[in-house]
Amino acid sequence: MFDVAGSWTGFVPIGRWLPAYRRSWLSADILAGLALWAVMVPEGMAYAGIVGVPAIMGLYTLTPPLIAYALFGTSRTLVVGPDTATGVISALTVGALAARGSADFGALTGTLAVLIGVFFLLFGLLRQGWIAAFIATPVMRGFIEGLICVTILGQVAPLLGLHGVQGDVFEKLRFIARSLDQVAPAAALTGLLSLAAMLALRRLSPRLPAALIVAVAGAALVALLGATAAGVSVVGPLPSGLPHLTPPRVSPDLLLALTPGALSIVLVGYAEALGAARADADGDDVDPNQELIAHGFANLLSGVLGGFLAVGSLSKTSVAIGAGARTQVANLVAALLCFLTLIFLTPLFHGLPHPTLAAIVIAAMLHLSKPAYLRRLAVEAPGEFAMMVVVIAGELVLGVMQGIALGVLLSLLMLIYKASHPKSAVLGKLPKEQAYRDIRLHPDARTFPGLLIFNPGGDLFFASAGHFERELKAAVAKASPPIGHVLIDASAISLVDTSACDVLLRVIRGLKDDGVLVAFARVRDPIKDRLQRAGIVDAVGEGAFYDRLTDGVTAALGHRVA
C-alpha cells in the first residue's frame, strides 16, 4: 500500500515544497499562470468537441484538475487538463452506450472520468507506477500518430462547416467527399483562416497564446460581419457560475461497459503524463506512484463537478515551462483565472465559431505529431518502425480501441521476443587490453584456437534457454579449428530457473561426450548457488569457475595470455 513516509506530506506533496517557496518566484509563476489560462480556456472548449460534449464542460474540466494536481502531484511544472488523444477514446467509449449530443452522453462522460479517477487512485495506492513502461515507445508513438490522423480527419468536416458526420475514418472521408457542394463558403473561410492563423502564430511567435488570439478574432469577425447568417455556426450561450455536483451513474453493467475504455485511457494518458512530468524534472524526484494518485483526484473532481477526463499534457506543460513557471503556483494561478472565467467571462465566448474550434484542435494535433522521430526510427530501427506503422494502420482500419489492443499485444510480443532471444556473442580479446568484446562488432578482437568464449547476452530461463542452446551449439559447430574448451561469460546472467538448469546440464554433458570441456567466468554468487543446487557445479567441477575471463582463458590455454 501507499507509504506516506511518516507524514502527511508523503501523501500531499505540496506540504513539502510550499513552505520553501521563494517570493522571487511569484512574478514568474503569475505570468506563467496567465499564459496557461490563455491557452487552456479556448483549448478546453475545443477539446470538448472531441469528447463529444458541450463546450461548457471543457471549461468545467479546467479548475479541478489544476488544483488537484498542485496538491498531490510531484512535478514542479506538469499541467493536467483536457487532452486530445484520450478525449478520442472517451468519445468512442461513451458513444457505444449513448447518442452523441444527448443528456445521457454528457452524464456518462462524467461517470467515465470518475471511473478513470478510481483506477488511477487504485493503481497509485497499490504502487503500480511501473505500468508507464508497459507500452514500448514506438508503439505508443504509433498509437498517438494514429490518433492524430483520426482526430484531424474527424475535425475536417466541422472546419468546413459540415455537420452530422459519423462512423469510422473511411465513412467520414466519404461523407466529406459527398458533401463538398454543401459547404458554406463563409464557414469554410472562417475555418481555413483560423487554421492558417494558428499555424502562423505558432511558427512565428510560439510564446503568444495563439488559441486565445484566434478564438477572440474569430468571434469578433463573426459578430462584425454577421457571419452566422451566412452559415457559420457558433458555440451559443454558455452558462455562467459554478457547475452543479454531478454524481456518477453507478450500475454494474454500465461500469463494466465503461471499464475497457477507462483502462485504455489510464494506460495511454499516464504514459503521456509521466513523460511530460519528467521532461523538465531538472533533478526533482517525480514519483510515478504519487503521479497516479494525483491523476486519480484530478479525474474524480473533474467528473463530479461536471467535467470530463484530464491527464498530464506535454503541450500545456511546454507552455508553462516556456512562460517561466517555477512551481505549481503557476497552475493555481491558472486555476483561479479559469474559475473567474466561469463566473464572469463565459458570455464573451458565445459567438465563438465551431470552425475556429476545429482549427484549434487540428493545430494542436499537428503540434503533437513528431515526423522527425518517425524518420529517425525508420533509419535506426526499421523493425520497430514497421511495428509502429502496423499500429497506425490498425487504428485507421480497425478503430481506435482495436488499435490500443493491437499496440498492447505488439508490446507484449516484442517483450517476449527480446527476453527469449537475448543477443549472445562470441568474445575475443582486444589488442593490448584485458578486455573481451563481441567479435562481430570488433573484428580486431583476438580469438584463441581450440577455445570458444561465449556470452549468452542475458538471463537464462524457460523462454530463453532453448535459444541459448541453439546459439551455443551453432557457435561450436562454426568454430575452426575444432574447439576443446568452452568458456561461458556469465556476467549478463542474473536469473537462472529450473528449465535453464536442465538445458545447461544437457549442453554440458553433450559437449563432454564430444570431448569439449566447459567452464564459467564472472558468475554472480546467487547464480553459482543456484547452479550448485542444480548439480551443474559438480558436472563441470568447482575449479571450472573463474572470477575473470582472463583467468579462464589462461587455464584453458595452459599459459598466460598476453
pLDDT digits (tens, 9 = 90+) for 185-204: 888 889 999 999 999 998 88
Residues 425-557: name the CATH superfamily. Answer: STAS domain (3.30.750.24)
Residues above pLDDT 70, as percent of the chain? 93
CA 307 distance to own-chain centroid? 23
With CA atoms as reference, report the closest residue to 76 among 278, 337, 243.
Answer: 278
pLDDT digits (tens, 9 = 90+) for 53-111: 999 999 999 999 999 999 999 998 899 999 877 898 899 899 999 998 888 999 999 99
Show the cell assigned to 281.
524534472
With CA atoms as reference, report the closest residue to 86 among 106, 68, 109, 59.
Answer: 109
Choice between 211 and 331, residue whose per-residue pLDDT is larger:
331
Asked if pLDDT for residue 166 goes beyond 70, the answer is no
Measured between alpha carbons, how far is 260 from 269 in angstroms, rounded to an integer?
A: 14
Residue 228 exposed, middle or buried by CB count within 10 Å (0-12, 13-18, 19+): middle
Q: Assess contact for 550 and 434: CB atoms under 8 A.
A: yes
Q: What are phi and psi of 418, to 5 degrees?
A: -65, -35
- Which CA distances in Å does 155 have to 193, 194, 210, 460, 476? 15, 13, 18, 51, 61
Measured between alpha carbons, how far is 229 from 459 in angstroms, rounded to an integer?
A: 71
Q: Element (H or E) spanning 314, and its range?
A: helix 314-322
Confidence tier at 1 by pLDDT (50, 70, 90):
very low
Choice between 558 and 497, residue whose per-residue pLDDT is larger:
497
With CA atoms as reference, report the closest residue to 129 among 262, 274, 6.
Answer: 274
Query: Looking at residue 441, what is its pLDDT?
Result: 93
Asked if pLDDT for residue 282 goes beyond 70, the answer is no
pLDDT digits (tens, 9 = 90+) for 167-184: 667 777 888 888 888 888
With CA atoms as reference, report the closest residue to 143 among 81, 84, 58, 82.
Answer: 84
**Where do runs of H (alpha helix) occur along 161-251?**
169-178, 185-204, 210-225
Q: Assess contact for 369 and 240: CB atoms under 8 A.
A: no
Q: What are phi and psi of 25, to 5 degrees?
A: -85, -15
Asked if pLDDT for residue 370 goes beyond 70, the answer is yes
With CA atoms as reference, report the closest residue to 487 among 464, 513, 456.
Answer: 456
Query: Looking at residue 550, what is its pLDDT?
Result: 93
Choice between 437 and 434, residue whose per-residue pLDDT is larger:
437
Query: Looking at residue 561, what is its pLDDT?
Result: 45
Considering the entire predicted model, what is its pTM?
0.76
HEC sequence for 90-113: HHHHHHCCCCCCCHHHHHHHHHHH
Measured between alpha carbons, how far is 131 from 271 in angstroms, rounded to an integer?
A: 8
**Cα end-to-end span (Å), the chain:** 56
HEC sequence for 43-70: HHHHHHHHHCCCHHHHHHCCHHHHHHHH
Show the cell assigned to 98.
449513448
Query: Looking at residue 284, what is its pLDDT?
Result: 55
Range of 150-159, 205-214, 345-354, 372-381 with top mean pLDDT: 372-381
Would the CA dihedral through 50, 52, 56, 62 be positive or negative? negative
pLDDT digits (tens, 9 = 90+) for 215-261: 888 888 888 777 565 678 888 888 888 888 888 888 899 999 999 99
| Window from 409-413, 470-474, 527-531 with minimum mean pLDDT | 409-413
Measured between alpha carbons, how far is 445 from 425 in angstroms, rounded to an integer?
A: 12
**Strand 436-438 relative to strand 425-429, pairing:** antiparallel
Q: Where are the domains of the chain?
A: 23-415, 425-557
Measured between alpha carbons, how far is 548 from 561 in angstroms, rounded to an integer?
A: 12
Show the cell assigned to 111.
461517470
Asked if pLDDT for residue 165 goes beyond 90, the answer is no
Residues above pLDDT 90, as percent of the chain? 50
Q: What is the dihedral of CA 247, 248, 250, 251, to 10 degrees?
A: 130
Query: Looking at residue 279, what is its pLDDT?
Result: 58
3-state secondary structure of 312: strand
pLDDT digits (tens, 9 = 90+) for 494-524: 999 999 999 999 999 999 999 999 999 999 9
pLDDT digits (tens, 9 = 90+) for 385-417: 988 898 888 888 887 778 777 877 888 888 888
Query: Looking at residue 562, what is its pLDDT?
Result: 44
Would the CA dihedral through 257, 262, 267, 272 be positive or negative? positive
Query: Looking at residue 316, what is its pLDDT?
Result: 84
Confidence tier at 39 by pLDDT (50, 70, 90):
confident
Orientation angle between helical segments 137-159 and 185-204, nearest 10 degrees: 140
Q: Element (H or E) spanning 455, and its range?
A: strand 451-455
CB count, 10 Å around CB of 282?
Answer: 10
Buried b / exposed e over 58-93, threshold 16 CB at 10 Å, is: bbbbbbbbbbbbbbbbbbbbbbbbbbbbbbbbbbbb
With CA atoms as reference, report the closest residue to 86 among 244, 256, 323, 268.
Answer: 268
Measured between alpha carbons, how far is 389 from 386 in angstroms, rounded to an integer?
A: 5
- Which CA distances in Å does 236 have to 45, 55, 225, 350, 439? 12, 9, 17, 4, 71
Average pLDDT of the segment spanning 128-148: 78
DSSP for residue 251: -
Per-position DSSP letters for 463-526, written without gaps between them = TTHHHHHHHHHHHHHH-SSPPSEEEEE-TT---B-HHHHHHHHHHHHHHHHTT-EEEEES--HH
Average pLDDT of the segment spanning 322-329: 88
